[in-house]
Amino acid sequence: MSLPVLEFSSVLSDADLIEIIQMSSAEKQTAVAKRASVSGEVANALIDHGKSGAVVATLVNNPGAALRDADLEKAFAKFGSDPAVNNSLVARANLPLRISEKIVARVSESLREHLLSHKEISAEMAADLVLQARERATVGLLPPGSKSADVVDLVKQLRDNKRLTPSLILRTLCTGDLTFFEASLAVLANMTIISARVLIHDEGKLGLQSIYQRTPLPANLYPAFRVAFDVARETQYDGGENDRQRFSSRVIERVLTQFEDIGNDNLEYLMKKLKQLAA
């Protein structure tokens, strides 16, 4: 069967297309993936039987493909090492946060391997660079107004993969992302997000301290989190371009004034000092 027929014919049923996918070359599978409308069943068959990452990348790039979150998860699980698939996933509208974070983690691991191939960089230095890059990228995944349920799912994934670090939580708090902070404490304290918010936003000083103590976060970092939370809650976005970066700079500047021994407005330096305090 010719490629134009596979791509444009309205005569072929989903059953026909699935049979063709199971028996055809990558070129013919790609033609099916380009169809103006690709049902969920056909999309799933392409992911299951796709002979190359190019097939799945074409499918994910197709706005007419009925891809559920579970299908996108499967596409990443099978072809996540293919840059074309990752690029197509990143470009897809409304990509779930948990998939975006997995892509960030995969890219970060590739960066670590690249750095380790340069013998002048120690393993410790490579790990620090990768951690900083991964955490900055993770913060960038969280658009203002993210749904609490989606953020909680992301936080659980980070925790389960040991990527929910104190520095990541503090970094997001310094950008004013209270939802991620609330979700992180809720998950780490094994509480619902609603119960966590009641304690976190308690008018007194004991609510936040109480839930913080239920988490495995370092006790010596509590003062930094307390100050960052108070400052973030009081600081407002100005609504202009690069608002988030300016907000973060204002918060960090005010947080750093609480630590006289730091005297540096660089966030990575702040994280290093806080890790030293925790140790």
The residue ranges of the chain whose pLDDT is under 50 are: 261-266, 277-279
Supply the pLDDT for residue 14: 94
What is the per-residue pLDDT for 121?
A: 67
Which pLDDT value is given to residue 262? Answer: 44
Q: What is the reported pLDDT for 174?
A: 80
pLDDT given at position 145 = 72
Cα separation, 260 vs 126, whole angstroms: 29
Q: Is 183 exposed, middle or buried (0-12, 13-18, 19+ CB in 10 A)?
A: buried
pLDDT of residue 259: 59
